[in-house]
Structures are given as structure tokens and as C-alpha cells.
Amino acid sequence: MLEVRELVKQYREIRAVDGITLRIERGSCVGLLGPNGAGKTTTVEMIEGITTPSSGEILFKGAPIDEEFRQCAGIMFQNTALQEFITVSEILTLFQRFYQRTRPLDELIERCALHDFLTR
């Protein structure tokens, strides 16, 4: 379970995230919706540990986020230029290296029917 309590991110005069509180249960798939500038990306970056919150708490299984959380969590990037420069096969290999415990790539390719896309 992931819990965010009163999360705030302040950049000088701009409060990008203003006290968000949420709870995500195991097995849930969650999307953050809102207009540009609402703080969605900043919130996800704080949860992932990319950006440090100004205040508030982020808890995974009741404790502050740590390496265990980073190995269990998955994110989908808002944009990336990677697809313009590397193949699907190379992207799979790259992202597999981000995690300690992974499935064999052959299994992933089969399960997701990616054979015809590997060189694209």
C-alpha cells in the first residue's frame, strides 16, 4: 500500500503541489488527472524519489519509501525521446536493467506479442 499525506512542493513563489493526500491499495492502477500545471508530474516525481517534497510524507507499507519501493513500483513516462533513437528490443533491455527482479525478456515478448515490433 502506498500512502501520501499532505504532500507539498514549493518552488520559490510557486506551490506546485498543495497538500495532496491519497492512498493507493496493492494491485491498483491509478491515473492522476488535471490541467497542465496542476502538479501531477511533480507529485509522481516525488513519489518516485526523483524530486524531494518540501513537506509531507510518502509511505510504502507504512514506512518511508526506500529501495524496496523503487524495485516494486513502475511508472509510465509522460514523454520520452527514446523511441526516436532505439528499437523496441533495446528499450525492453534498458528498462529491464532498472529492476533487480525481472522476468526473462523472451517471456515478456511472448506474453505481449511483441515479436513483430522488436526491430522498430
Query: Per-residue pLDDT tens for 10-23?
Result: 999 999 999 999 99
Same domain, 59 and 104: no
Domain span at 89: 82-117
Whole-model pTM: value is: 0.67
Same domain, 7 and 44: yes
Say which CATH number the domain at 46 has.
Answer: 3.40.50.300
Same domain, 50 and 97: no
Contact by Cβ (8 Å): 56, 5? yes
pLDDT mean across residues, the chain: 88
Same domain, 47 and 87: no
The answer, yes or no, to whether residue 54 has pLDDT greater than 90, is: yes
pLDDT recorded at residue 12: 93
In this structure, is residue 32 part of a structural domain? yes
* Angle in degrees, CA 9, 10, 12, rounded to 5: 160
Domain count, the chain: 2
Same domain, 12 and 64: yes
Q: Which three cell numbers stand for residue 58?
A: 510518502
Residue 43 to residue 40: CA distance in whole angstroms: 5
The three-class DSSP label of residue 22 is strand
Contact by Cβ (8 Å): 8, 15? yes
